[in-house]
Structure 1
Amino acid sequence: MSPLTTRPAGVEFRTVTRAYGPVKAVDSVSFTIAPGTLVTLLGPSGCGKTTTLRMIAGLEFPTDGQILIGGKDVTRLHATERDVTMVFQSYALFPHMSVIQNVSYGLTLGRLPKAEIEAKAKEGLRLVGLAGYENRLPSELSGGQQQRVAVARALVLEPEVLLFDEPLSNLDAKLRRKMRDDIRDLQQSLGLTSVYVTHDQEEALAVSDRVIVMNRSVIAQEGTPTDLYERPVNRFVADFIGGANLLNAELLARTDEEQGQVRLGDLSLTLPHRDLAPGGVTLAVRPHAIRVSAQPGPNSAPAEVKKATYLGSHIEYHLSSAFGDLFAVGGDLMQALPAGATAHISLAERGVTLLPGA
């Protein structure tokens, strides 16, 4: 039997505000994180996501509002009084200590028997794939291995909530993908309640049960990765999650309870109207939803290729059209169009969403 146990707890913010003088870093934020789920706080620098994480950890306190963990009010409890641990961006390993000493450090501050501490530390290292590395120093490990040690050190404390503060930002792109998958697999296998902070949209979509998108100290939208990508509620979320071409269009009429007729330049589209009134709207078009062809087709419009960039698996196009500049991703490498060519574009059924007008 594993010497490590999990006691996942829910997290709740009730109209939490954190102000620094007249500046509100977090402004009346409310959300609930279910036990055993991974929720990501996502947003640009300065949006309030790290301050929110630090308030869960007890490293900062709200100016107003209430924080509950496992149904217990922890609003004014310090970090040492909460059953929460954090994996930091910088790893924060002790360079003079061995791997197992780093992992055991938090446990040695308690009164556990030495044998139990060692068993828990070894199990933590096994869970992160570092069994056999116990006696190495951090300087003898790669960046990814050091991050695994930091995760193991947090796991052995058996927290109610495990926090990740930009944990992969110091790793190269290939290792980031591997580590994010490992973190997600570990979280799911152990049933940990986890809160993850990142500014990387792809990373957030890959690891999360739910994503809380923050902008200017408030929540812009909360939902599953699919909700946020396919049904953004405003221009900011549409552009921040996965990137989108934001175009001015017209909702001509609602044709039934769900669908509407939309005009974009010379293109006629049938799309979910999302309860918008007829009139000016914004059309959010994902780059992969723009089909680029050398030949005109049904319901297509001409565009000039301003730039074409070959990236091995696909081509990135910068296009100029009657309804605006476009960024498109094309997968047909055999029919690539060069800069200066005339393209004919049409829109796929998925990846095109109506938003309120500007």
Structure 2
Amino acid sequence: MTAATKLLDEMCHLTAQSLTQMDTSEHFKLIKLLGEGSYGKVMLAVHKKRGTPMALKFFPRESTSLFSFLREYNLSLSFCTHPSLTRALGIVYSTPSHYIFAQQASLFGDLYDVIIPEVGVEENCCQRVVSQLCGALSHLHSLGFVHRDLKPENVFLCDSACRWVKLGDFGMVKAKGTRIPEVWYSSPYCTPEAEMARGNEDSWSGNNDDNCCFNHDREKKKRVWVFVEPSTDSWALGVLTYAMLTGSHPWAETASDCHAYLKYQEWFDQANGPKDELDVWMDPHTENTKDVTDLHEAGQKGCPPVAPQFACFTELACSFFQSLLNPRPQLRGRPEDALSYLGGDWIIEKERVRLEEERNKSSRKGAFRCMKEMEGRGER
């Protein structure tokens, strides 16, 4: 446990003693809903006396432990000092039904809103976002924290052109080395090492197989315990970057029966050598001296055929993806390592032209819809 993680626990105990009750409507004017999820909801609000816009995050008391609420608040308030991390504003209180804290408001939505399906965003925009996310994740990792929930919906925009983004939603953050039950879920963001927990009681799917006998089903539900590692964020960053560049995902789920993922794994193994099970399942605190860069250089000699879903990328981009999307968690590149792949071309010229044409079509359709709506309002 790092000094930061110890301090966070102490801060939570202190804040719990001074948490006050307050009437939201007395101090804030609620403007609109910004987001909603299993945690609760986020509302855009304006402080009535100061006129300051902010986001109020509401957590239902009946489904939220006080400690988990205060942990997210104090983490955001005191440790998210990087410019690409969302910070709390020092306002925390409770009502009879909710725990609430205020944070910086991102008035331009989130990354999910600007990724055009099957098209993505412009390459320079993508690299700008990746650069900022690398910095944000590296900052958290240096303090001993792992985000564990990197996805487009949790990357908030401070302007319409993605020049400045902020990673937010720290409800899943854990300290590095924390022992937790592994959870597999059907998503491209789920790491390949999590598949060993597929079908257990903590996973999101896999427990409804009627053909399984009782004993086998009971065995499937045994928990698998693992240690929290930063490599989880690296994997998610790789998948998120792919989504930004293409408007799609490289595979539906990271599973041994997913054809698209198997194609990628085959390409990866040909480029980097056969997978050693000892590398994948070794104790997370064991030192490994292999260099990810050496593996990439070795793979270039044989020039294996690229996985179909990665054929639109340059050699530089392929190396970037193979670093972050390494099936071996101990050899997975760190966010700060990914910075060395920025600056060059990531998409081959032919694909770049096609995406630009699709982007222009999408813009024209959007402008046409907007014009029709304005005409309609004028008629009324």
| TM-score (structure 2 length as normaliser) | 0.25
| TM-score (structure 1 length as normaliser) | 0.26
Determine which structure has the larger helix proportion and give its number.
2
Determine which structure has the larger strand proportion and give its number.
1
Query: Is the radius of gyration larger for structure 1 or structure 2?
Result: 1
1 or 2 for the larger relative contact order (CA 8 Å, sep ≥6)?
1
